[in-house]
């Protein structure tokens, strides 16, 4: 039975054996998969994001002044660390959604600082909503509550955060505007 299957597998159909088709297909699949993953990695680099987000100046310039760009410890968070999930499926969903950004790039939705500013609150609200929905998952990839030494934090930090997190608040509820300036017209209700 196995032998027959084997012979069938390797016997020529018209010109190629199923085996050959299978092997070639497999190789093509691996090449495609490799290329796809390289693409996924490339689209996570700082350079890739700023290739569009530099022109309107804001997100990149402001981020460069933040502790997430340069700090005493030298640990850097790049755009994708905060904006693109690590988990494979969530990442793919975010990338597919990002094709919308391609469209807005073409029609020039945020191609001047003025346009960017007037569109900013709306964009920021989308970011906050998705961070809230994921319980600030991307922040927690680096800042684990369990790993915080509250004794080493300022009294204010330790008190506010322990209380807040126990009440079920999430990082982004209290830490908006940590990498960029807050949008004009935004009124903070959660903090303090």
**Residue numbers of the site for ligand HEC (CB under 6 A)?**
43-44, 48-53, 58-60, 63, 67-68, 71-73, 75, 77-84, 100-102, 104-105, 109-110, 119-120, 123-124, 126-128, 136, 138-143, 145, 153-154, 156-157, 160-161, 164-165, 169, 171-180, 182-183
DSSP character at residue 98: H
Closer residue to ligand HEC in complex, CB, 26/87:
87
Closest distance of CB 162 from ligand HEC, Å = 9
Q: Report how far residue 26's alpha carbon sits from residue 30's, in angstroms, rounded to the nearest whole number.
A: 6
Listed residue (33, 36, 34, 8) closest to 22, CA to CA: 8
Closer residue to ligand HEC in complex, CB, 17/109:
109
Closest distance of CB 133 from ligand HEC, Å = 12
Closer residue to ligand HEC in complex, CB, 13/51:
51
Q: Please say whether the beta carbons of 170 and 187 come within 8 A.
A: no
Hey, what are 51's tokens?
Answer: 């290739």
Find the helix or strand (DSSP H, E) in which 101 lies.
helix 88-107
């Amino acid at each position: 039975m196995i032998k027959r299957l084997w012979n069938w597998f390797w016997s020529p159909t018209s010109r190629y054996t199923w085996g050959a088709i299978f092997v070639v297909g497999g190789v093509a699949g691996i090449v495609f998969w490799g290329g796809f993953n390289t693409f996924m990695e490339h689209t996570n680099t700082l350079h890739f994001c700023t290739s569009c987000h530099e022109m309107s100046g804001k997100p990149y310039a402001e981020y460069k002044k933040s502790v997430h760009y340069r700090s005493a410890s030298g640990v850097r968070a790049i755009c994708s660390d905060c904006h693109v999930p690590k988990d494979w499926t969530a990442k793919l969903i975010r990338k597919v959604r990002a094709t919308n950004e391609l469209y807005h790039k073409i029609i020039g939705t945020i191609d001047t600082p003025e346009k960017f500013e007037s569109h900013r609150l709306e964009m920021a609200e989308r970011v906050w909503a998705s961070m809230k929905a994921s319980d600030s998952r991307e922040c927690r990839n680096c800042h684990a509550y369990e790993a915080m030494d509250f004794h080493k934090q300022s009294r204010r930090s330790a008190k506010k955060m322990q209380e807040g997190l126990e009440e079920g608040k999430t990082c982004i509820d209290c830490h908006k505007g940590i990498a960029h300036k807050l949008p004009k017209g935004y009124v903070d209700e959660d903090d303090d």
